[in-house]
């Protein structure tokens, strides 16, 4: 490590320490008022307010409601050098609030971005702090990419809380489909033969998918819920509907699995005389395209703040889907996990929601901000590091 790198890393870490109370306060405020996909108005405004408090001093250009999304934002600083994007998420889950810990992601991202802006002219480098709404199904980053959020970006990063310190999240691609069955209503006791049962079609479709699950790849997942199953037992249901997630290890495998699922669901309609319609909803999420050199940079910096980043293994991994996967298809990207809860307390649980506002959650805000900021220093000051990241990206 050069003297310049060492000095800049010390500077960004000291800066994050100096604003840690503000970052932790932001995390707790977002946690206390959870907002769902594309409705994260308070979280958006609080992030923008914190950015504005540093805008003049650090020459930060701020764009609220960016990329045609009312709850997205963009903040940029620096005029020359490599451009790095840090993503902030802040949407919550229905019923269990910030059980995914997006409040931590937002605060850590802002901390890293502000620290980078503090040294942008000295490095030199360019930083983009991107507030991305609706990760929990709405695909905010997908829309932002379509609107040009990653133009001229050399690398992107974010951290995610979990129950272990892991170099990456085991991500799988996902698409979402809403299915509707249409039959014919009739009195279920007096004239059942006149009815065409849309609920039966949905039940048979569900059972067909259950049978399909025996013959899919180990990493593939298919799970659905009933949205509508009729109004009263004595009326033959004329309409039913379901909502399905289809997941696969890669985007290519997802495209192979989707028609198999639709065929299973359609068979339920054909068996009962119903008709079926379907609609792909939200945006499909790509699998995360890993970048080992960038992961290694982050891991070394995380170790310097006391976190030993492990490799995911059976029994110790986090598997899911994220629109950061779509980002990783465009630029070198990382999505490391930082321990917030005890091992075994997984994300998307009521227990994890409590840990997201705990002392260990606050520590993840600060540690995550520092590790990302130091990784940005590496990318800005060491051309070889950035070149390795780009070579790895282009080789896949």
Let me know whether 20 and 156 are in one domain. Answer: yes
pLDDT of residue 317: 77
87 with 18, same domain: the answer is: yes
pLDDT at 282 (0 to 100): 87
Looking at 285, 303, 320, the residue that finishes a domain is 285
| 53 and 119, same domain (yes or no) | yes
* Residues 18 and 150 reside in one and the same domain: yes
Among 230, 264, 285, identify where a domain stops. 285
Q: Are residues 295 and 281 in the same domain?
A: no
At 86 the three-state DSSP class reads strand
In a shared domain, residues 262 and 245: yes
From CA 127, how far away is CA 135, in angstroms rounded?
22
Domains: count for the chain:
2
pLDDT at 137 (0 to 100): 86
User: For each of the chain's 396 residues, which pLDDT tens digit applies?
Assistant: 788 899 999 999 999 999 999 999 999 999 999 999 999 999 999 999 999 999 999 999 999 999 999 999 999 999 999 999 999 999 999 999 999 999 999 999 999 999 999 999 999 999 999 999 999 989 999 999 999 999 999 999 999 999 999 999 988 999 999 999 999 999 999 999 999 999 999 999 999 999 999 999 998 999 999 999 999 999 999 999 999 999 999 999 999 999 999 999 999 999 999 999 999 998 999 999 999 999 999 999 999 999 999 998 866 778 889 999 999 999 999 999 999 999 999 999 999 999 999 999 999 999 999 999 999 999 999 999 999 999 999 997
pLDDT at 314: 65
| Phi, psi values for residue 238, rounded to 5° | -90, -10
C-alpha to C-alpha distance for 14 and 8, rounded to whole angstroms: 10
Residue 291 · residue 329 · CB < 8 Å: no
Distance, CA of 105 to CA of 323 (rounded, Å): 14
Q: Give yes or no: residues 348 and 382 share one domain.
A: yes
> Do 155 and 246 share a domain, yes or no?
no
Could you tell me the sign of the dihedral formed by the alpha carbons of 378, 381, 385, 386, in that order? Answer: positive
Closest of 308, 318, 361 to residue 103, by C-alpha = 361
Whether residues 356 and 306 fall in one domain: yes
Specify the CATH number for the domain of residue 193. 3.30.70.360
Residue that finishes a domain, picked among 242, 259, 285 = 285
- 159 and 214 part of one domain: no
What is the predicted pLDDT for the residue at 316? 74
Same domain for 83 and 228, yes or no, is no
Q: What is the CATH number of the domain that holds 139?
A: 3.40.630.10
Please indicate, yes or no, whether residues 324 and 252 belong to a single structural domain of this protein: no
- Domain span including residue 159: 3-170+288-394
């Amino acid at each position: 490590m050069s003297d310049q790198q060492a000095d800049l890393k010390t500077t960004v870490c000291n800066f994050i320490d100096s604003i840690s109370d503000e970052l932790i306060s932001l995390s707790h405020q977002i946690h206390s008022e959870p907002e769902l996909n594309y409705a994260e108005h308070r979280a958006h405004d609080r992030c923008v307010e914190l950015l504005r408090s540093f805008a003049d001093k650090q020459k930060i250009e701020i764009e609220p409601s960016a990329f045609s999304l009312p709850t997205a934002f963009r903040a940029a600083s620096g005029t020359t050098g490599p451009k790095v994007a840090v993503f902030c998420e802040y949407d919550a889950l229905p019923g269990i609030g910030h059980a995914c810990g997006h409040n931590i992601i937002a605060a850590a991202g802002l901390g890293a971005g502000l620290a980078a802006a503090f040294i942008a002219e000295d490095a030199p480098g360019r930083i983009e702090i991107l507030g991305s709404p609706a990760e929990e199904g709405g695909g905010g980053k997908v829309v932002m990419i379509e609107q040009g959020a990653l133009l001229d970006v050399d690398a992107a990063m974010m951290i995610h809380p979990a129950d272990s310190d892991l170099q990456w999240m085991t991500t799988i691609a996902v698409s979402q489909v809403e299915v509707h069955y249409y039959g014919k209503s009739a009195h279920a006791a007096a004239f059942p033969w006149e009815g065409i049962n849309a609920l039966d079609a949905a039940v048979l479709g569900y059972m067909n998918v259950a049978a399909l699950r025996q013959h899919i790849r180990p990493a593939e997942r298919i799970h659905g819920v009933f949205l509508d199953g009729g109004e009263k037992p004595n009326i033959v249901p004329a309409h039913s509907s379901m909502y399905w997630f289809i997941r696969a290890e890669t985007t290519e495998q997802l495209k192979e699995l989707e028609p198999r699922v639709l065929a299973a669901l359609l068979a339920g309609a054909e068996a009962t005389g119903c008709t079926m319609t379907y609609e792909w909803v939200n945006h499909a999420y790509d699998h995360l395209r890993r970048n080992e050199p960038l992961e290694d940079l982050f891991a070394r910096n995380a170790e310097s703040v006391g976190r030993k980043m492990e490799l995911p293994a059976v029994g110790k991994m986090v598997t899911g889907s994220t629109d950061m996967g779509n980002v990783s298809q465009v630029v070198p990207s990382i999505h490391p996990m930082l321990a917030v809860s005890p091992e075994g307390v997984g994300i998307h649980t009521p227990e994890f929601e409590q840990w997201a506002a705990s002392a260990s959650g606050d520590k993840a805000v600060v540690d995550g901000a520092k590790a990302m900021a130091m990784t940005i220093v590496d990318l800005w000051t060491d051309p070889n590091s950035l070149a390795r990241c780009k070579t790895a990206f282009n080789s896949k």
